[in-house]
Chain A
Amino acid sequence: QSVLTQPPSASGTPGQRVTISCSGSSSNIGSNPVNWYQHLPGTAPKLLIYSNNQRPSGVPDRFSGSKSGTSASLAISGLQSEDEADYYCATWDDSLNGSWVFGGGTKLTVL
């Protein structure tokens, strides 16, 4: 059972805008910045968004992130076939001795 809650799947057609939600609590999303990752099985997860809404160099501006309270969202606009992947949210959790916590992942299908 993942600490952060994501929908298991999402889909869209090329060119559409898709959003993926990530819900947590006051000890994790409510207190710390959120990262988003794109993952293709067999490869290293790729950092898409850091500090809630910042894009690393090389990540297209079609990807954007936001956070409000204990929830965060990843939006992908102008959907492309190569966006088909698993997407995960992550943040630090201040409870117990502290730990990184993750969402269960959202499988994005481009129809």
Chain B
Amino acid sequence: QVQLQQSGPGLVKPSQTLSLTCAISGDSVSSNSAAWNWIRQSPSRGLEWLGRTYYRSKWFNDYAVSVKSRITINPDTSKNQFSLQLNSVTPEDTAVYFCAREVGADLDYWGQGTLVTVSS
């Protein structure tokens, strides 16, 4: 059974960097058949895909156009986890953030979600 455990601060000041981590159990961040995604949900934007990282003989990243200039998703093979960094945040980045595993054409396992509020 795959489990994704999220961690990170729930409050970030405007212009600072939002950082979250997703720890994986039951699979490997280096899996050749999975991709590791970040998705957020807010009342104004609904569910919004942010990006993913995956390993296919080397590491790849795909990012949503809307955040491409501000986002970094990194794998950490030593801890079997992956992270999200979103720079220069504004109140519009306030949302519940989810990590999720993608296998085939399915986002099959999700983390529990982390509410991140951007406020001074």
Given A44-B111, A97-B65, A99-B64: A32 and B105 interface contact (C-beta under 8 Å): yes
With both chains docked as a complex, state the minimum distance between the C-beta of B22 and any C-beta of chain A, in angstroms. 11
Contact pick for A97, options B46, B47, B62, CB 8 Å: B62
Q: Is the CB of B106 within 8 A of A98?
A: no
List residues of chain A with CB within 8 A of the CB of B111: 44
Compute the total of residue contacts between A and B using a CB distance below 8 Å.
Answer: 62
Given A50-B105, A51-B105: A88 and B47 interface contact (C-beta under 8 Å): yes
Q: How large is the interface on A (under 10, 10 to 19, 20 to 34, 35 or more residues)?
A: 20 to 34
When chains A and B are docked, how far (Å) is the Cα of A111 from the Cα of B53? 42
Q: How large is the interface on B (under 10, 10 to 19, 20 to 34, 35 or more residues)?
A: 20 to 34
Q: Is B49 an interface residue (CB 8 A)?
A: yes
With both chains docked as a complex, state the minimum distance between the C-beta of B109 and any C-beta of chain A, in angstroms. 8
Q: Is the CB of A44 within 8 A of B98?
A: yes
With both chains docked as a complex, state the minimum distance between the C-beta of B107 and any C-beta of chain A, in angstroms. 7
When chains A and B are docked, how far (Å) is the Cα of A82 from the Cα of B47? 23
Given A42-B113, A88-B47, A100-B39: A35 and B62 interface contact (C-beta under 8 Å): no
Residue of A nearest to B51 (CB): A99
Given A44-B111, A98-B62: A104 and B46 interface contact (C-beta under 8 Å): yes
Q: Which residues of B68-117 have CB atoms within 8 Å of chain A's CB atoms?
A: 98, 104-113
Hey, what's the 0/1 contact readout for A96-111 against B, CB within 8 Å counting as 1? 1111111111000000
Q: A residues engaging B (CB < 8 A)?
A: 1-2, 32-33, 35, 42-47, 50-51, 56, 88, 90-92, 96-105
Instruction: List 7 additional A-B contacts (Cβ < 8 Å) besides A44-B111, A47-B108, A90-B47.
Output: A44-B109, A44-B112, A45-B98, A45-B110, A92-B105, A96-B65, A100-B39
